[in-house]
Structure 1
Amino acid sequence: MGSVKDLIVLREPQDDSAGVGRFIFSDRYSVFDWGEMPDHIVEKGKATCIMAAYFFEKLEKSGIMTHYLGIVEDEKARRLDELKEPEDIMEFRLLKVIKPGIQGDTYDYSAYRKTRGNFLIPLEIIYRNSLPEGSSVFKRLKEGSLRLEDIGLKDIPHEGQVLDKPILDVSTKLEVTDRYTTWDEAKEISNLSDDEIDEIKSVTLQIDDLITNEAKKIGLFNEDGKVEFGFDAERNLMLVDTPGTLDECRFTYDNLPVSKEVARIYYRKTGWYKDVEFAKNQDRLNWKRSVKSSPPPLPEELADSIALMYQACANELTGRRWFDAPPIKEVLNTIRSLI
């Protein structure tokens, strides 16, 4: 499936009906589109699975359609309150994934004009409630690939700026490297109508609002995050993938990252990261082939603290002690001293 989740297909999706799949949440993690990093984060898979299930169940209660069926325990998909122990397998309705073709150095999305429903929309939708240090917005504004009017701002923003209202961004999902794009291009390549784009934006804002409020209850600020959607066989919009986890969102506590951004901060100081950035600028499609170095392992104490961060968040968000982890504030104080 990818660098952090594996996929089991129980029933293949058809043109007129969804299939059934299972995500196996691993302890692997990825940064900068590299794929699997050298370390594993202990119990990350189970903690991430619990967090995603918590938000799916909350969002469904609010009326948002999702592909979630439950967490698998004893080979049965169960709701969170039915589980005896944390598990790392989630069952869901499986949609078709239609990968764009490649013509030269461009992508061909023409297949989406021939498909009505039951497929993954090839976009990632990013919501931003603030612009923390490291946000791609600053880099893109500097390069000129993003304009202030594209994100509804009049003045150049500053690092750490909390926005008056969320900004919505969009990127490709199924290309070799995720690529920010305009809403007009997103509509064109995915064969979406104006109403469908409006619905995607509206539902994303609802999801953002719910995640933000839930995070606030445990002292976290939801800086930004990403969501993905698909259509069912009748072309009804459906939330897919795994919302609200520390991999999909950038949470902070008193300006300290509470996400895999902690690992990104460490790796930005390495020569490997410089090699990755140089390679991406040289060849957008095949940049990995040009990276000569490999990422070094995380320092042991930092890796252990990141693991406890995932576990503590799952405990406190759900109000249930799934893992033997200290309070999240204690874990974060340790991380702050390390980075």
Structure 2
Amino acid sequence: MGSVKDLKILKNPTFEKPGEGIFTFSNRYSIFDWGGMPDHIDHKGKSIALLGAYFFEKLDELGISNHYMGLMENGDAKNLSELNNPSKVMKVKLLRVITPKFENNQYDYNIYSQNLKGNFLIPLEIIYRNVLPEGSSVFKRLNESEIIPEDLGLKNPPVPNQKLKKPLIDFSTKLEVTDRYLRPLEAQEISSLSEEELDELKDVTTIINKMISQEFSKIGLKNEDGKIEFGYGPKRQLMVVDVLGTLDECRFTFNDLPVSKEITRMYYRDTEWHCATEEAKKKDRINWKDNCALQPKPLPPKLKNLISQVYCSCTNEITGKEWFKDVMSLKEILKDIKGEIPCDK
């Protein structure tokens, strides 16, 4: 069980062949690496599964390899066009997940240098950034000299809310307890990728970013940033895995108002609980959650309902089909949300 979706293994992957599994997308959500938050968002699981399927089928049209096999209905894996009702269950190909050892308070990625060939998850999250909002982690990392502008492909330091002519490609860990940002060279080294393979990751991410941006621009939304996960198939061909293009994987805005999981981040960011998580992470990056002094409180009921409406409406409008009935238009919902969160943060 993951923080927001569950996995049932039907067939284990081997060195030679991918396995098969079932993702069940839940109504849970996670922010700030906490894991499952107190609330469940109605219809979220189905809306994420449908939207994810929509973008996987777009990848198929582009000829980009991925692990999607269809959404389940009456025991069969179906494409969206064949589906009669919303489904939260997706059939996927499975790759080997090779977890780095944790020794002496650090992760050891040496196993990735041992000629793994193919059929495994790359232990990275690849992040594209089209805009750098004021609260972006990029500014904190620059200020603390963790990175320099050249690491991000920039000649000069960026400024808050800068719209980038060329998207930045960023990297973080995938299999550690708490996500850790990486410089490109470190990302390449821990994954034992060649320069050509790293360039391919960047190139495919750029293509996917452009496709997602074009799709969301049709309903008036800006694609500010998002994450993609990859693995290698049996012949070491690059393969998109997990899910992409959803409100959990990307950050979208409409007139600077978030249309994504960022809504919940904005609500919780000024709470005592969030302050407690930050303090706990400073003391112990690995076991911080066990040592956090506070637990998150539930969302206000009105905001929780509006967030559910955002997920449903966005899926309806992007896919062009009314999967969820009696849902307001996205723009109407966002007008109501604006009064429920601190939009100046």
Structure 1 CA distance, aligned partners of 2:243 and 2:317? 18
Structure 2 CA distance, aligned partners of 1:117 and 1:191? 12
Aligned position for 1:112: 112
What TM-score, normalized to structure 2?
0.97
Q: Secondary structure at the match of 1:287?
A: coil
Structure 2 CA distance, aligned partners of 1:161 and 1:2? 34
Give, as a single letter, the amino acid of the residue that structure 2 aligns with 1:304.
N
Aligned position for 1:209: 210
Aligned position for 2:124: 123
Structure 1 CA distance, aligned partners of 2:259 and 2:123? 27
Aligned position for 1:33: 33
Does structure 1 retain, via aligned residues, the 8 Å contact 2:131–2:161?
yes
Aligned position for 2:82: 82
Q: Secondary structure at the match of 2:273?
A: helix
Aligned position for 2:173: 172
Structure 2 CA distance, aligned partners of 1:297 and 1:288? 18
Q: Secondary structure at the match of 2:328?
A: coil
Aligned position for 2:293: 292
Q: Secondary structure at the match of 1:7?
A: strand
What TM-score, normalized to structure 1?
0.98
Alpha-carbon deviation of 1:154?
Answer: 3.4
Give, as a single letter, the amino acid of the residue that structure 1 aligns with 2:141.
R
Alpha-carbon deviation of 1:157?
Answer: 2.5
Q: Secondary structure at the match of 1:337?
A: coil
Alpha-carbon deviation of 1:141?
Answer: 1.6
Structure 1 CA distance, aligned partners of 2:272 and 2:143? 23
- Superposition pairs of residues 261-272 of structure 1, within 5 angstroms: 261-272=262-273
Alpha-carbon deviation of 1:222?
Answer: 0.1
Structure 2 CA distance, aligned partners of 1:78 and 1:144? 49
- Superposition pairs of residues 11-22 of structure 1, within 5 angstroms: 11-22=11-22
Aligned position for 2:93: 93
Q: Secondary structure at the match of 1:235?
A: coil
Alpha-carbon deviation of 1:227?
Answer: 0.1
Aligned position for 1:279: 280
Q: Secondary structure at the match of 1:289?
A: coil
Q: Secondary structure at the match of 1:227?
A: strand
Aligned position for 2:70: 70
Q: Secondary structure at the match of 2:302?
A: helix
Structure 2 CA distance, aligned partners of 1:147 and 1:275? 29
Aligned position for 1:307: 308
Q: Secondary structure at the match of 1:290?
A: coil
Structure 1 CA distance, aligned partners of 2:171 and 2:246? 19
- Superposition pairs of residues 130-169 of structure 1, within 5 angstroms: 130-169=131-170
Does structure 1 retain, via aligned residues, the 8 Å contact 2:52–2:243?
yes
Q: Secondary structure at the match of 1:162?
A: strand
Q: Give per-residue Cα distances to partners, 1:107-146, cap 9 Å, x unaligned.
A: 1112212211100000000000001232211221222212
What is the aligned length?
339
Aligned position for 1:186: 187
Seq. identity, %: 54
Alpha-carbon deviation of 1:159?
Answer: 2.4
Give, as a single letter, the amino acid of the residue that structure 1 aligns with 2:338.
R
Q: Give per-residue Cα distances to partners, 1:300-327, cap 9 Å, x unaligned.
A: 1111100000000000000000002111
Q: What runs of 5+ residues in structure 1 fail to find an aligned partner?
A: none
Q: Aligned Cα RMSD in Å?
A: 0.9
Structure 1 runs, 4 residues or longer, greater than 2 Å off: 152-159
Aligned position for 2:334: 332
Structure 1 CA distance, aligned partners of 2:339 and 2:313? 18
Aligned position for 1:24: 24
Q: Give per-residue Cα distances to partners, 1:207-234, cap 9 Å, x unaligned.
A: 0000000010011000000000000111
Q: Secondary structure at the match of 2:69?
A: strand
